[in-house]
Amino acid sequence: MPESARFSPSTLSAASTPSVDPALQPRLVVTDLDGSLLDHHSYDFSPAAPWLARLKQMGVPVIPVTSKTRAELIPLREALGLTATPFIAENGAVIGLPPGWCHARLDRPGSGRDGVVIKHPGVDIGFIRARLKVWRERLNIRFTRMGELSVPEVMELTGLDAVRARDARQREGSEPLLWHDSDMALASFRTALEGDGLQLTQGGAFGMSWDAPPIRAVPSSGWSSALRR
């Protein structure tokens, strides 16, 4: 065999692997909503609309990741044109998979709007509220859960309209709290919840009318865990 016809392993590997333009490799965009894709106060997304259209044309999925509830996300996904892509709600406590993103054998068809399959990587809201009740009584601490507020009260505290306030109360895997106690009590409360596999986070639009951001009780598996699943 002529020397020119011989291939070393490295030559064969290079010859059998076509060069791929990095710009054409599969990719996706993961984005927060409030203050990122949406205006923090008005929810306007018009500055991002041309880019969303361009990404859709290129076949690049845009996945919203947010502290909002699934109920809050339903109209936003429709307005943004993101009904064909997954979403992560309540800081990773709720994951929504459209039919095209589901496993053919492991995921049953979703019965909700758009046929989305809903997954809950952590514990449900019933467990969270039960543990909050236990520790409030056991530690004699003072706070108010969002679930204890009426829709008008949520509207007054947040500036949301009635529909958005109602949707914000539909929790599945996290619970915002209005804290009424000391920093020392908060530290004890945080430690107690960690023993239940829960953690406290601070921030979000729910506290925009308060002196401090709200505290949220969420499962210890947050956004990063949701993104790995």
Which three-class secondary structure string do you get for 109-171?
CCCCHHHCEEECCCCCHHHHHHHHHHHHHHHCCCEEEHHHCCHHHHHHHHCCCHHHHHHHCCC
In angstroms, what CA-CA distances link 149 with 104, 128, 152, 165? Answer: 41, 16, 8, 10
Please name each of the domains of the chain with its CATH number. Answer: 3-119 (3.40.50.1000), 125-228 (3.30.980.20)
Pick the catalytic residue from 32, 44, 107, 161: 32
Active-site residue flag, 32 = yes
The tens-digit pLDDT sequence of the chain (229 residues) is 444 444 344 443 444 444 555 656 668 899 999 888 998 878 899 999 999 999 999 889 999 999 899 999 999 999 999 999 999 999 889 999 988 888 777 777 666 566 788 888 888 899 999 999 999 999 999 999 999 999 999 999 888 899 999 999 999 999 999 989 999 999 999 999 999 989 888 765 443 333 334 466 666 644 333 433 3
